[in-house]
Structure 1
Amino acid sequence: MPLRLKTELNIWDSALKAYDKQNFSTSLELFSQIADSSKILTNMGLIYATIGKHEAAIEHFNAATNLDKFLAIAYFQCGVSNFLLGRYDAAYAKFQDAYLYLRGNRFINYEQLGLKFKLFSAEVLFNRGLSQLYLGYAKGMSDLEQARKEKEVIGHEVIDDVIRDRGGQYTVFSVPVGVLYHPSEKKLRNSKVKDYLGKAKLVIGSDLDDIYREFSGVTELKQNSDPSTSSPLESTSNADPKASLSGTPDRGATASIFRTRSIGPSPTTERSKTINGPLSTASHLSPIFPHRPRTPGSDAQPQSRQGRAARFTCLFPVPSLATMCCSIHRSSE
């Protein structure tokens, strides 16, 4: 709904509430802010007629029919104000227009448009006939007779009395006091401000761990990225290496342990030294990778192969090039 329409509906509603409290001046002031439709102008004319300002009422009824020439209710009520001012000829003309824009209907129900009022053809004919009687025209009785034929409700019984008294001191039918155009209830509800989110609430837990809640993944990420928070894997770096080697450490624990311990000759290296003579300790040390932990079983086989290679070298020495040349020279002699 456009903002301008919401604003107009809210002003319209406020003006009606002021009218119900009989704050007529406030109601007229509010209606004047949105007086750009035939309904609002008709409302203002009805309010002016209620407080007896029929000149202003006629002005607003005429403005309403200028915007909507088919608005029979505005012609009808304008004729009423003219009749109460003693302008019977002008009243007759307005009642004539109202009957014309009934377009042959016995009544028009304005309740669907927001005005709880039915305009009956019997009432329009009665007012037109009474205006002619006040002007001195006897033909006004024919309108009264036609109005009696088109009676619809109990209040129309007065038509018979007027015919019997041939006019007398009767007045015209009018829109009841307090009847005004109201906006659509559905549109009015939609114009109100709605709070879909509600109000924020601060919830404090009784325990420090209950102060706030967050996703478990976020908590784990904070623990891994915070140096002050020690995880179970990192805590093993300060543990006893021998105690860690007694079991089967995981990848993270193995990497942390072997980075902090001093590397020395393994039992297998000492054994190869004893059997095969001095060998380079560095040649028996394999690189340490976190994902491939060293175990005593994995070092034994490569070291035994190197031991056999050393024994083969000692038992079958490879002759040098000079020795081979001398042997060939002697055989040729």
Structure 2
Amino acid sequence: MLYTELLQLWNQAVQAVDKRDWEGALSKLNQITEPTSRTLFVTASAYLALGQLEPAVKALDQVIAKDERLAVGFFQRAGVHTLNGRLEEALSDCIWAQKYMRDNSVIDYRQLGLRYKLYSWQVLYNAAVVHCRLGLWEKAGSILEKASKEKGGRAGTVEVALESLSRKEILDPLLVPEGEVFRPRKQDIEQLQQRDFLGKAKVISSMIPNDDFGGFEPLRMQKPGYYEPKGDPSQDSCYMRLRSPYMAHGPEELSVPGGSIVFVFSNANAEGLVTVIYDGQVRRGTLGVDNDQCFLIL
């Protein structure tokens, strides 16, 4: 399937997750014919929120198959295995998650679209949970002691768990919070929306004085006198094209590229002199004729 189609369905699924519409999210996700590890993680999260542990595990199996070094995938599957009573599988996943932490105390997944930080103490915590459920209380306690020395925002979680272990109370595993899923990049979603790359045409520099037309030249309304600035009725005016480029020799002259069109006023009272307008500038010059073709001598 096209990547744009995947993005659309993924984004719609995430919007459904934000509304806690888990069935709606799954409906969109199931339309993705070539899921990625991140879209499959969303699928697993939706099944988990619905309390459907087996489908959640199967989705997490695919997440890890797609990205075998995704520590948070092993961490999440360890928690689901624990809830499902598969303690050996859960412990194995804790070990894999710890391995792919790569000696880091924390991995921040925000760059991948998941607003979640996975701490090494959380992985150890889930390993302790497995051991306490296996009845290995001392081992669970020693793992939690190690977790208490790890860096990260534990907010007393490990300390409370140690107290619970002293009373031989079964602990619940930690999971990525409900609703926290991998999201497509905002920039990618914005590019899916229809955009007007041309925009409305604007006149930046017109060859026609007092021009405020904003369309394409062939579409301009054509009617006599439409372009011509208002002036003295005794003046004749017209457009002329400069045969060759002219470089100004002083502030009283104009520099005009060859082939450019200028607007010319001629005054009967000033023989041979004309007023020339080009690019918003006004200068005086003389008018010549060559082979019955008008041209300007500035």
- TM-superposition CA deviations, 1:15-54 (whole Å, max 9, x none): 1112222322221121122252100111101111111001
Instruction: State the secondary structure of the residue aligned to 1:119.
Output: strand
One-letter code aligned to 1:180: V
Partner of 1:263: none
Q: Which residue of structure 2 lines up, in the alignment, with residue 98 of structure 1?
A: 97
* Number of equivalent positions: 205
**8 A contact 1:89–1:135 mirrored in 2:** no
Deviation readout 1:117-152 (Å, 9 max, x if unpaired): 000000100110121121122322221111000141
| Whole-angstrom CA distance in 1 between matches of 2:223 and 2:133 | 87
Whole-angstrom distance in 1 between the partners of 2:106 and 2:74: 15
Q: CA 1:214/1:153 → structure 2, altered by over 3 Å: closer, same or farther?
A: same
Residue of structure 2 equivalent to 1:18: 16
Percent of paired sites with the same residue = 29
Alignment of 1:186-265 (within 5 A): 186-196=187-197, 213-214=221-222
For residues 215 and 64 of structure 1, the distance between their equivalents in structure 2, rounded to whole angstroms, comes to 68
Alpha carbons 1:130, 1:144 under 8 Å: kept: no
Give the Cα–Cα distance (whole angstroms) in 2 for the partners of residues 8 and 130 of structure 1. 37
**Aligned CA-pair RMSD:** 2.5
- 1:179 partner letter: E
Measured against aligned partners, the alpha-carbon deviations of 1:274-322 in whole angstroms (never above 9, x if no partner) come to xxxxxxxxxxxxxxxxx9xxxxxxxxxxxxxxxxxxxxxxxxxxxxxxx
Partner of 2:185: 184
For the structure 1 residues 216 and 120, does the alpha-carbon distance in structure 2 shift closer, same or farther, using more than 3 Å as the test?
Answer: farther
Contact 2:22 2:49 in 1 (8 A): no
* Shift of residue 198, structure 1, vs aligned partner: 6.3
Aligned equivalents of 1:195 and 1:125: distance in 2?
Answer: 52
Counterpart Cα distance in 1 of 2:113 and 2:164:
37
Residues 136, 195 of structure 1: alpha-carbon distance in 2 compared, 3 angstrom cutoff: same
Give me the whole-angstrom Cα distance separating, in 2, the residues matched to 1:18 and 1:173: 24
Determine the structure 1 residue equivalent to 2:148: 148
CA contact (8 A) 2:13 2:25 kept: yes
SS in 2 for 1:164: helix
Q: Does 1:42 align with 2:41?
A: yes
Correspondence for 1:136: 135
Q: Is the 8 A contact 2:114 2:183 kept in 1?
A: yes
Q: Partner amino acid for 1:65?
A: I
**Could you tell me how far apart the structure 2 residues matched to 1:72 and 1:12 are?**
22
For residues 33 and 170 of structure 1, the distance between their equivalents in structure 2, rounded to whole angstroms, comes to 37
Whole-Å separation in 1 of the counterparts to 2:7 and 2:222: 45
Q: 1:139 is paired with a residue of what secondary structure?
A: helix
1:27 is the counterpart of 2:4: no
In the superposition, relative to structure 1, how do residues 44 and 197 fare at CA in structure 2: closer, same or farther (>3 Å)? same
Q: Find out whether 1:160 has 2:159 as its counterpart.
A: yes
The aligned counterpart of 1:81 is 80
Residue aligned with 1:97, SS: helix
Q: Distance in 2 between matches of 1:12 and 1:102?
A: 27
Task: Work out whether residues 60 and 77 of structure 2, in 8 Å CA contact, stay in contact via their aligned partners in 1.
Answer: yes
Q: Of the two, which has the highest radius of gyration?
A: 1
Q: What are the within-5 Å matches in structure 2 for residues 240-319 of structure 1?
A: none
- Deviation, 1:11, is 1.4
Q: Distance in 1 between matches of 2:223 and 2:10?
A: 50
Does the Cα contact within 8 Å between 1:70 and 1:101 map onto a contact in 2? yes
- When structure 1 is superposed on structure 2, of 11-20 and 99-108 the one drifting more is 11-20
Aligned to 1:305: none
CA distance in 1, matches of 2:98, 2:21: 34
Matched residue, 1:269: none
3-state SS in 2 of match to 1:52: coil
Distance 1:169 1:69 in 2: 30
Query: What is the identity, as a one-letter code, of the residue corresponding to 1:29?
Result: S
| Distance change in 2, residues 1:21/1:149 (3 Å) | same
TM superposition shift of 1:215: 8.2
The 1-side partners of 2:13 and 2:162 are apart by: 41
More helix by share: 1
Deviations, residues 180-232 of structure 1 (Å, cap 9, x unaligned): 11111111111211134569xxxxxxxxxxxx713879x9xxxxxxxxxxxxx
Structure 1: unaligned runs, 5 residues or longer: 200-211, 220-290, 292-333
Deviation at 1:14, TM superposition (A): 1.2
